[in-house]
Amino acid sequence: MTPTQVETIRASWVQVEPISDEVASLFYGRLFDLDPMIRRVFRWTDMVQHKKILMQTLAVVVRGLDRFEELVPAIEALGRRHATYGAREAQYDTVGEALLWALREGLGDAFTPDVREAWAEAYYTLASVMIGAASGEAAA
């Protein structure tokens, strides 16, 4: 990620934080619409709490984007944990689609092409680390 992309994400995150509950709800609603099978993974989950965890995790990532190498061990652990829940590599694209959609819905006109590109770059970088860890490959 470029420094400009990191700053773009941080600037948009300032707008997301006040509406984080709404964005989390939009995200999970869209995720379950795109892949109803994923809903089964969450059938025993306290979704109110899980939405908070999602947004807290995103906040940590946003704060640490310029020190990505320090985030890698936690991201790898998250990827291994998701593998134990049955997450498959193909589902990461669905999650990315749902995340970008939720951000677009939440941010409205502020979700510019540059904002979308920065968030997509960040998400797919994180997803590749998670997928690698789930498959037993360490990040380089």
Taking the mean position of all CA atoms in its chain, how far away is CA 44? Answer: 21
Sequence-distant (≥ 6) Cβ neighbours of residue 76 within 8 angstroms: 129, 130, 132, 133, 138, 139
Position 139 scores a pLDDT of 56
pLDDT of 138 > 70? The answer is: no
d(CA 10, CA 44): 33
The domains located in the chain, with CATH, are: 3-134 (1.10.490.10)
- The residue ranges of DSSP E strands in 67-107, in sequence order, are none
pTM for the model stands at 0.91
What percent of the chain has a predicted confidence (pLDDT) above 70?
Answer: 97
* pLDDT tens for each residue of 71-127: 999 999 999 988 888 888 889 999 999 999 999 999 999 999 999 999 999 999 999
Q: Are 3 and 122 in contact (CB under 8 A)?
A: no
Q: Are 103 and 111 in contact (CB under 8 A)?
A: yes
* pLDDT tens for each residue of 42-71: 888 898 999 999 999 999 999 999 999 999
